[in-house]
Structure 1
Amino acid sequence: MIDRQSPIPVYFQIEQYIENLIETEDLKVGDRIPSEKEFTEQFHVSRMTVRQAVMDLVVQGILVRLKGKGTFVSGQKKIEKPLTGLTGFTQEMVSRGLKPDSRLLGFNRLHPSEKIAAKLKLAEGQEIFEVKRTRIADGYPMAIETTFIPSVLVPELTAEKANQSLYDYIEKVGGFAIDHAEQTLEASIVTIEEAKFLEVPKGSPVLLIERLSFLKGGIPFEFTKSLYRADRYKFIVRLPNA
């Protein structure tokens, strides 16, 4: 089944073979795919070649690896996240018909680093709240989000309140109007600790977004660092005709 004379790489031919099994429903959602050993014997290729094919499909969200159990056909589609518009995680998941949830990993009131203080334009001695959460949709971990907010803006913030929608809290309780944000996007790889929270193998790819958000009047109120699972998210940019 492998054409070694083809200019198409062998690992990609194996990817196409697995995808065809799924399209023809020879493999259905929830089915375990053959092991790396079985594929190496079937195609007479190295395990490294098979692993590359499988991991590419895992990153695309077509397959999912469960530690100690094997690799299965995933029923999860990647969430398309536009890089335009400013919405919080909770609102975004609700708009897609998914149930949002959060697991609080840390809540602290502290003095910021120089980098954070400069981004939030804080005076010397001002404190921030640091909120670290795993963001969850329909029971699946989607991202790790670490948010820094000037404590002077929301002095009554608590761990319980921080584990809900921060944007709702800032607008409804704080009485502020959120205006716009600036953000950057780059590729990264999870640490061992991050892999545990996201339930992915160590060294898995993630999408790193850093966002600085502003209230009306140009006042920075939030700096957030988010690590999105690359197998669950894809980002979309719509380009208008110039």
Structure 2
Amino acid sequence: MSPESTPLYLQLKDRIASDIAKGVYKPHSRLPSQRDFGEDHGLSHMTVRRAINELIQEGTIYGRQGSGLFVAEPKRDAELGPLISFTEDMRLRGMTALSKLLDTRIVSASTSLANILGVVVGHPLVFLRRLRLADNEPMAIQSTFLPSSLVPGLLDLRLENASLYQVLQAQYGLKIVDAQTSASADLASEEEAALLQLPLPAALLATEQITFLDDGRPIEFARSLYRGDRYRLQPAPRKPPTR
């Protein structure tokens, strides 16, 4: 393999990634074994393993115990913009966004949530935990907190598969216009991996978002856990949300 200035494992990694991008290997198709890669390219087992491990960590390929290596689905961009929403994101991709309610209840604001949402400690908050799906495939787990004083009776409404932001505007006249978003990497717990149908260990893309009303008040704090094998970060345009 060449050029000599590039480490051999990177050359192999780039070759495999390039073949996947060109369609030589299709999503979920089986790849040659590590031994085959080594023999085909005259590389040591350690060199091949390093290339394969990096491709797995990046979500380009995945392994099944006893079955070998397979090509992962292409990653979708998780836009790190203040006004992107899961519902709108899926609509733009020609997919149907669905939500499954995992938990709904009233909780007391902790010190950190009180500071974020501009309420006193102990203030009642509406808590929603949802599994977000695209064309019935689980994509993310989202936990949302809203001041109950701004959304009285929210839990009495039909929220399954509803756009939360549309509900807030239609039912309460609340218009979301801005948000602050941050992101980090995380590892899935056993429960999270099961909900997202991922084998352990599973990498997740974790985002935290505070959304604001047109009068500047914070209305929502949401923590979302996206499948690391389906999403990567990309800046998003500023546009009205419809989550």
Q: Same fold (TM over 0.5)?
A: yes
Q: Which residue of 1 aligns with 2:207?
A: 209
Moved more, 53-62 or 174-183: 53-62
Q: Residue 130 of structure 1 aligns to which amino acid in structure 2?
A: F
Q: Could you tell me the TM-score, scaled by structure 2's length? A: 0.80
2-structure distance, mates of 1:37, 1:106: 47
1:102–1:52 distance in 2 versus 1, CA, 3 Å: farther
**Which residues of 2 match residues 17-166 of structure 1 at below 5 A?**
17-22=15-20, 25-36=23-34, 38-39=36-37, 45-46=44-45, 50-58=48-56, 60-65=58-63, 70-74=68-72, 76-158=73-155, 160-161=158-159, 163-166=161-164
Q: Residue 179 of structure 2 aligns to which amino acid in structure 1?
A: A
Q: What runs of 5+ residues in structure 2 fail to find an aligned partner?
A: 238-243
Q: Residue 95 of structure 2 aligns to which amino acid in structure 1?
A: L
Q: Residue 164 of structure 2 aligns to which amino acid in structure 1?
A: L
1:67–1:147 distance in 2 versus 1, CA, 3 Å: farther
Q: Tell me the SS of whatever aligns to 2:159.
A: helix
Q: Could you tell me the TM-score, scaled by structure 1's length? A: 0.80
Q: Is the 8 A contact 2:109 2:121 kept in 1?
A: no
Q: Residue 96 of structure 2 aligns to which amino acid in structure 1?
A: K
1:230–1:153 distance in 2 versus 1, CA, 3 Å: same
Q: Is the 8 A contact 2:186 2:205 kept in 1?
A: yes
Q: Residue 104 of structure 1 aligns to which amino acid in structure 2?
A: L
**Which residues of 2 match residues 214-233 of structure 1 at below 5 A?**
214-233=212-231
1:29–1:189 distance in 2 versus 1, CA, 3 Å: closer
2:167 pairs with 162, 166, 169, which one?
Answer: 169
Q: Residue 176 of structure 1 aligns to which amino acid in structure 2?
A: L
1-structure distance, mates of 2:19, 2:148: 54
1:149–1:67 distance in 2 versus 1, CA, 3 Å: farther
Q: CA deviation at 1:137?
A: 1.4
2-structure distance, mates of 1:200, 1:163: 23
Give the RMSD, CA atoms, in angstroms: 3.0
- Larger RCO: 1 or 2 (CA < 8 Å, sep 6+): 2
1-structure distance, mates of 2:24, 2:182: 41
Q: Is the 8 A contact 1:88 1:165 kept in 2?
A: no
Size of the alignment, in residue pairs? Answer: 235
1:61–1:30 distance in 2 versus 1, CA, 3 Å: same
2-structure distance, mates of 1:24, 1:94: 27
Q: Tell me the SS of whatever aligns to 1:226.
A: strand
Moved more, 153-162 or 177-186: 153-162
Q: Is the 8 A contact 1:11 1:52 kept in 2?
A: yes
State the Cα deviation string for residues 67-100 of structure 1 (Å, max 9, x = none): 77544334x3322243334132112211221111
Q: Which residue of 1 aligns with 2:4?
A: 6
Q: What runs of 5+ residues in structure 1 fail to find an aligned partner?
A: none
Q: CA deviation at 1:27?
A: 2.8
Q: CA deviation at 1:200?
A: 2.5
Q: Is the 8 A contact 2:81 2:181 kept in 1?
A: no
